[in-house]
């Protein structure tokens, strides 16, 4: 695939073959609003064909030893490393984010591939001799069969790589249903897997909307579903999938709070909050959406934060100086503008408003600069709902305990960050914060590949998070054999 052809069509890839659908939707460049390609949409029959291809490929794939499977992933990693700039350009073209961010996310995805390459070790079981007279017991991990991944628009290469490298390394076959907004990265990855020697049918991509996703979730031959996306859909996928007897991990949305203590290193806190709230236009599940300033941290933090946010460069992701890229779709743009309007109506104080229609090249691109609201109340829509844009809500708390209680009371519990110079405050935060991925003095506390990634409450439905040890548990069934040889 070319990095940026003038106009292209993206089709499903089933059993190693490009498989067009009967309908199509348009793909847009978020920096210009122009139509850049077409997505050929599959339907239920495409979902059925992909599951049939994956089912057919499963017996031979699971019979390969873990080392043989790992070698294909090693080759895939080498190819992806060589072609990562092309892949980053494809992501920027459809998503809008700066190439450097796209490259960073590819790197994070490839770290999961590196973890998965350790499958020969990770899949080892346990053994106990003489658990009874002449009796021994051993445990092993076995693949499940066909696994499905349904992924969001914001990390079109990294989030699929949270899933399929471990699923394949564990001996499963896979069907990926990418976002309709940013579909090309999935095909690029499928082509690299094919080039790396992955047999046809082991990894399939079916493009389409919620109808295709539902057909996959409900398919009787699908054993496990990994979902990442908004919370409402995650909840419904979890209920549908588990009701159909499948294993489901469904990662949802986020409203990550940054708590700033008066003793924090303020320049570090400012730069981390700017990064966490506005880079990638806030379209990250680990983005900072709320600042809770404790005691007089507000006076120390806000003037510089607002001034620097006002200076951030809003530009196309292909611009080397871009700090705030456009958001990915017109729909997302309109949702963010409506959220800002609701904040004003609800009485929050709009400290910085960089909604600038001029920046949108006569209304065509989807640019929104940093927006900062102060005096935000917990009852307001801009606080309660995930906005998924460059909008920061600022609140005050008298104490650390009050700030932690605010964060814990939110429906979503993905990440939370504390900025402080006090080890004691950091210990209290670590002990009392209710979220899956807390951080101290860092902008985006995303766990590395050999730990697991996932939140609490409305941010994760299911017990097992993505990648790391949870990934191995999710993609295998445990078996414990007890034997005697009289």
Please tell me whether residue 158 binds ligand NAD under the rule CB under 6 A.
no
Q: Which one of 25, 32, 230, 422 is in contact with ligand NAD (CB under 6 A)?
A: 230
Of the residues 147, 285, 322, 435, only one is catalytic, namely 285
Q: Is 285 a catalytic residue?
A: yes
| 279 touching ligand NAD, by CB under 6 A | no
**Minimal CB distance to ligand NAD: which residue?**
229
User: Could you tell me which stretch among 68-76, 138-146, 177-185, 317-325 binds ligand NAD (CB under 6 A)?
Assistant: 177-185
Q: Out of 49, 213, 372, 444, point to the residue binding ligand NAD (CB under 6 A).
A: 213
Among 210, 271, 318, 385, binds ligand NAD (CB under 6 A): 210
Of residues 222, 386, 429, 458, which one binds ligand NAD by CB under 6 A?
A: 386
Check binding of 253 to ligand NAD (CB under 6 A): yes
SS (H, E, C) the chain: CCCCCCCEEECEEECCEEECCCEEEEEECCCCCCEEEEEEECCHHHHHHHHHHHHHHHHHHHHCCHHHHHHHHHHHHHHHHHCHHHHHHHHHHHHCCCHHHHHHHHHHHHHHHHHHCCHHHHCCCCEEEEEECCEEEEEEEEECCEEEEECCCCCCCHHHHHHHHHHHHCCCEEEEECCCCCCHHHHHHHHHHHHCCCCCCCEEECCCCHHHHHHHHHCCCEEEEEEECCHHHHHHHHHHHHHCCCEEEEECCCCEEEEECCCCCHHHHHHHHHHHHHHHHHCCCCCEEEEEEECCHHHHHHHHHHHHHHHCCECCCCCCCCCECCCCCHHHHHHHHHHHHHHHHCCCEEEEECCCHHHHCCCCCCCCCCEEEECCCCCCHHHHCCCCCCEEEEEEECCHHHHHHHHHHCCEECEEEEECCCHHHHHHHHHHCCCCEEEECCCCCCCCCCCCECCEECCEECCCCECHHHHHHHCEEEEEEEEECC
Residue 92 in contact with ligand NAD, rule: CB under 6 A: no
Distance (Å, whole) CA 204 – CA 143: 17
- When asked if residue 105 is in the footprint of ligand NAD (CB under 6 A), the reply is no
Query: Which position among 229, 241, 317, 390 is part of the footprint of ligand NAD (CB under 6 A)?
Result: 229
For residue 193, give Cα distances in angstroms to 199, 202, 273. 9, 10, 37
Q: Which residue in the set 30, 152, 282, 468 belongs to the binding site for ligand NAD (CB under 6 A)?
A: 152
Q: Which of 414, 420, 452, 476 binds ligand NAD (CB under 6 A)?
A: 414
Taking CB under 6 A as the rule, does residue 237 contact ligand NAD? yes
Please name the residue that has the structure tokens 């101290």.
440
- Provide, rounded to whole angstroms, the least separation between the CB of residue 123 and ligand NAD: 25
Instruction: Decide if residue 288 touches ligand NAD (CB under 6 A).
Output: no
153 binds ligand NAD per the rule CB under 6 A? yes
Q: Which residues contact 282 (CB under 8 A, 6 or more apart)?
A: 289, 387, 388, 389, 390, 391
459 part of the interface to ligand NAD, by CB under 6 A: yes
Any contact of residue 150 with ligand NAD (CB under 6 A)? yes
Size of the site for ligand NAD (CB under 6 A): 29
Tell me the β-bridge partners of 13: 18, 205
Among 80, 176, 228, 288, interactor with ligand NAD by CB under 6 A? 228
Using the rule CB under 6 A, give the single segment among 81-89, 197-205, 250-258, 335-343 that binds ligand NAD. 250-258
Contact between 204 and ligand NAD by CB under 6 A: the answer reads no
User: Which listed range, 30-38, 207-215, 356-364, 476-484, lies at the site for ligand NAD (CB under 6 A)?
Assistant: 207-215
User: In this complex, which beta carbon is closest to ligand NAD, that of residue 61 or of residue 115?
Assistant: 115
Closer CB to ligand NAD, 386 or 470, in the complex:
386
Nearer to ligand NAD, 88 or 286 (CB): 286
Among 102, 260, 264, 285, binds ligand NAD (CB under 6 A): 285
* CA–CA distance, 119 with 69 (Å, rounded to integer): 9
Window of 10-18, 30-38, 229-237, 342-350 that interacts with ligand NAD by CB under 6 A:
229-237
Question: Which residue from 29, 89, 151, 473 is in contact with ligand NAD, where contact means CB under 6 A?
Answer: 151
Indicate which residues carry an active-site annotation. 285
Where on the chain is the footprint of ligand NAD (CB under 6 A)? 150-155, 177, 179-180, 209-210, 213-214, 228-230, 233, 236-237, 251-254, 285, 386, 388, 414, 455, 459
């Amino acid at each position: 695939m070319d990095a940026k052809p003038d106009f292209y069509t993206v089709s499903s890839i089933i059993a190693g073959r490009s498989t067009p659908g009967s309908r199509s939707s348009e793909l847009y460049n978020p920096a210009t609003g122009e139509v850049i390609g077409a997505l050929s949409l599959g339907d239920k029959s495409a979902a059925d064909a992909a599951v049939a291809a994956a089912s057919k490929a499963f017996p031979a794939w699971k019979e390969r030893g873990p080392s043989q499977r790992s070698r294909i992933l090693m080759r895939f990693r080498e190819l992806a490393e060589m072609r990562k700039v092309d892949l980053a350009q494809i992501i920027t073209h459809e998503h809008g984010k700066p190439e450097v961010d796209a490259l960073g996310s590819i790197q994070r995805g490839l770290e999961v591939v590196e973890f998965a390459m350790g499958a020969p070790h990770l899949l080892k079981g346990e053994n106990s001799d003489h658990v009874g007279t002449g009796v021994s017991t051993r445990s092993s991990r076995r693949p499940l069969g066909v696994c499905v991944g349904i992924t969001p628009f914001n990390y079109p290469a990294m989030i699929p790589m949270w899933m399929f490298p471990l699923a394949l390394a564990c001996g499963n076959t896979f069907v990926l249903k990418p976002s309709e907004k940013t579909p090309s990265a999935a095909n690029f990855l499928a082509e690299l897997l094919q080039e790396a020697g992955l047999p046809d049918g082991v990894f399939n991509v079916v493009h389409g909307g919620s109808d295709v996703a539902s057909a996959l979730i409900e398919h009787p031959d699908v054993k496990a579903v990994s979902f990442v996306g908004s919370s409402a859909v995650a909840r419904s996928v979890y209920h549908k999938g588990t009701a159909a007897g499948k294993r489901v991990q469904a990662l949802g949305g986020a409203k990550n709070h940054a708590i700033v203590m008066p003793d924090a290193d303020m320049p570090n806190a400012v730069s981390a909050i700017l990064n966490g709230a506005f880079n990638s236009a806030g379209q990250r599940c680990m983005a900072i959406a709320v600042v809770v300033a404790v005691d007089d941290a507000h006076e120390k933090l806000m003037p510089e934060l607002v001034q620097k946010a006002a200076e951030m460069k809003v530009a196309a992701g292909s611009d080397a100086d871009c700090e705030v890229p456009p958001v990915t779709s017109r729909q997302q743009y309109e949702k963010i503008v409506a959220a800002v309007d609701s904040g004003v109506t609800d009485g929050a104080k709009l400290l910085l408003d960089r909604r600038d229609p001029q920046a949108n090249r006569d209304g065509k691109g989807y640019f929104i600069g940093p927006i900062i609201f102060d005096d935000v109340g917990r009852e307001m829509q801009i606080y309660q709902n995930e906005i998924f844009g460059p909008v920061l809500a600022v609140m005050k708390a008298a104490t650390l305990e009050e700030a932690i209680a605010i964060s814990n009371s939110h429906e979503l519990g993905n990440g939370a960050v504390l900025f402080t110079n006090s080890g004691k405050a950091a210990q209290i935060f670590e002990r009392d914060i209710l979220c899956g991925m807390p951080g101290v003095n860092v902008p985006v506390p995303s766990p590395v590949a050999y730990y697991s990634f996932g939140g609490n409450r409305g941010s994760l439905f299911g017990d097992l998070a993505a990648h790391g040890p949870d990934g191995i548990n999710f993609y295998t069934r445990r078996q414990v054999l007890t034997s005697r040889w009289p």
